[in-house]
Amino acid sequence: MKKLLLIATILLTLSFSTTYAAENDAATTNAESQPAQQNQQNQQTVRISTDDFVNYTSQAYGFSIKCPWEPVVVDLRSEDINRRGELLVFANDGIDVLLGYRIVLDAFDNQHVPDFNKADKAVIDNYIDVLKQVNLYEVATLENISANNKGVFAITAKEFEVKDPKTGEVQTVTASTQNAITFFRTPLGRCVSIQLITNELSDNLLKAYQFSVAGFNDPNPPVKNVKNDKKSDKKSKK
């Protein structure tokens, strides 16, 4: 499915859009200085059994998620002090992430995104249509995250068309990778996105990823802003 993107300044009214629109390439090259964790097997073809998944619990944020392997963890605050979440790296080549989960907490604006469990179908459908156009998703659908919770599952486009506003020339661009993204609200109301980063999107990895997303658990309240916490501490001492 090809989509048309006008090269111009697009004002996004939804804050989560910046989380999804331009981070695919950045995420695949940002493992910071963590030690390499390379699985010698081909991660795309090896059969991943969910029986062998390990449970990872974030010490910084309290969430837990089942992972195919023990991850190398990068706190997203290393990119942006206001960003909450972690990059879980399962396989990498130097700073290039070959396989990983990018988990962002408070990933979208709660007030501007419809409630996927309660909003009218027409409202959700319209929201998803806009989402696909803005973010160049090949697929974007409403799916059950769990028995009682729904979210949006999307796959980035492999090919899309870019139009130069000055010349009107249209070129077809082929992305080097395709990634899957799911975003949803937890029972506590935290707005979460989980992105599968891979150099080759396969059915095998997609099933493993969806299993991980379905088992995401967030028992703790949202983490407060570090800067605000420091200000509060100063006021309490006065």
| pLDDT score at 47 | 57
Q: Is residue 134 part of a domain?
A: yes
| Count: domains in the chain | 1
Give pLDDT, residue 72: 96
Quickly count: other Cβ atoms within 10 Å of residue 235's Cβ. Answer: 8
**Which of these, 136, 135, 69, 57, lies nearest to 103 by C-alpha position?**
57
SS3 of the chain: the string is: CCCEEECCCCCCCCCCHHHHHCHHHHHCCCCCCCCCCCCCCCCCCCCCCHHHCEEEECCCCCCEEEECCCCEEEEHHHCCCCCEEEEEEEEEECCEEEEEEEEEECCCCCCCCCCCCCCCHHHHHHHHHHHHHHHCEEEEEEEEEECCEEEEEEEECCEEEEECCCCCCEEEEECCCCCEEEEEECCCCCEEEEEEEECCCCHHHHHHHHHHHHCCECCCCCCCCHHHHHHHHHHHHC
Which pTM does this prediction carry? 0.73
pLDDT value at position 13? 25
| Distance of alpha carbon 194 from alpha carbon 209, whole angstroms | 9
* 237 found inside a domain: no
The answer to the question of residue 25 being in a domain is: yes
| Residue among 188, 212, 221, 163 nearest 54 (CA) | 212
Q: Is residue 166 part of a domain?
A: yes
* 22 lies in some domain: yes
Specify if 85 maps to a domain: yes
Query: What's the domain range around 73?
Result: 4-231
Give the pLDDT of residue 220. Answer: 65
Domain-embedded: residue 194: yes
- The one-digit pLDDT tens for each residue of the chain (238 residues) are 333 332 222 222 223 333 333 333 333 333 443 444 444 344 444 557 788 899 999 999 999 999 999 999 999 999 888 889 999 999 999 989 999 999 999 899 888 899 999 999 999 999 999 999 888 899 999 999 988 899 999 999 887 777 777 887 877 777 778 899 999 999 888 899 999 999 888 898 999 999 999 999 988 655 554 444 444 444 444 4
- Residue 167 in any domain: the answer is yes
Q: Note the pLDDT of residue 2.
A: 36
Main-chain phi, psi angles of 208, to 5 degrees: -65, -45
